[in-house]
Amino acid sequence: MNDFPDPLSQLYCKFGRTVEMAQVMEFEAGNFALALISVMFDPEKINNEQRRMFKSVIDDVDKRTFGNLLNLIRKRVSISEEIEETVSQALEKRNYLIHRFFKKHNFAIHSEEGRHAMNIELDDIYRTINLAHAVLSAMTHTLNQAFGWPNISQEETLELIRKAKTG
């Protein structure tokens, strides 16, 4: 049973989809940060101390916000102005989405015109965040290729995590 009128359900669905993309983008920033750090390790010769250190880094990256991850990345590498602008816009829109979107629109949600404006804004935020995700994903992929690290499957990722936890 649906407790919301259809246009309201559509708005909440679009908000949820946009928040999901923000989380995917943030996860990809973590992947890139981990790729940067992983170039210091030879996976064939990793010892238990390095494994524990790498697990600690993974835990740290998992706890960071998107803004904190960007700061970590900026300290490690120089990125082009275009990429910097793309991820900075995504950070700004992500923070607005999470902290101020409904507050800004306040009573607009109760009118058709207000919901329409909110939907248009959510589409714009989604596009910005999706672009930043694509850029971060390409950076991760490029870094992995440059250092001869294969872009691994989900199953291989889960196996690495399992090994890290048991190490």
Higher-confidence residue of 44 and 111: namely 111
Cα separations in angstroms, 96 against 4, 32, 87, 102 = 24, 23, 14, 9
Question: In terms of residues, how long is the chain?
Answer: 167
How sure is the predictor about 153, in pLDDT bands with cuts at 50, 70 and 90?
low
pLDDT band at 65 (very low <50, low <70, confident <90, very high): confident
Q: Model confidence at 129, in pLDDT bands (50, 70, 90)?
A: very high
3-state secondary structure of 105: helix
Query: What mean pLDDT comes out for the span 14-39?
Result: 90
Q: In degrees, to the nearest 5, what angle opens at C-alpha 163 toward C-alphas 159 and 21?
A: 50
Highest mean pLDDT among 44-48, 75-79, 158-162: 75-79
Domain positions in the chain are: 6-166
Q: Percent of the chain scored above 70 by pLDDT? A: 86
Residues 156, 77, 127, 3: is their CA dihedral positive or negative?
A: positive
* The dihedral sign for the CA sequence 82, 85, 91, 97: negative
Q: If we measure between CA atoms, which residue out of 11, 16, 14 comes closest to residue 108?
A: 11
- Whole-prediction pTM: 0.80
Return d(Cα 74, Cα 76) in angstroms, integer: 5
pLDDT at 62 over 90: no
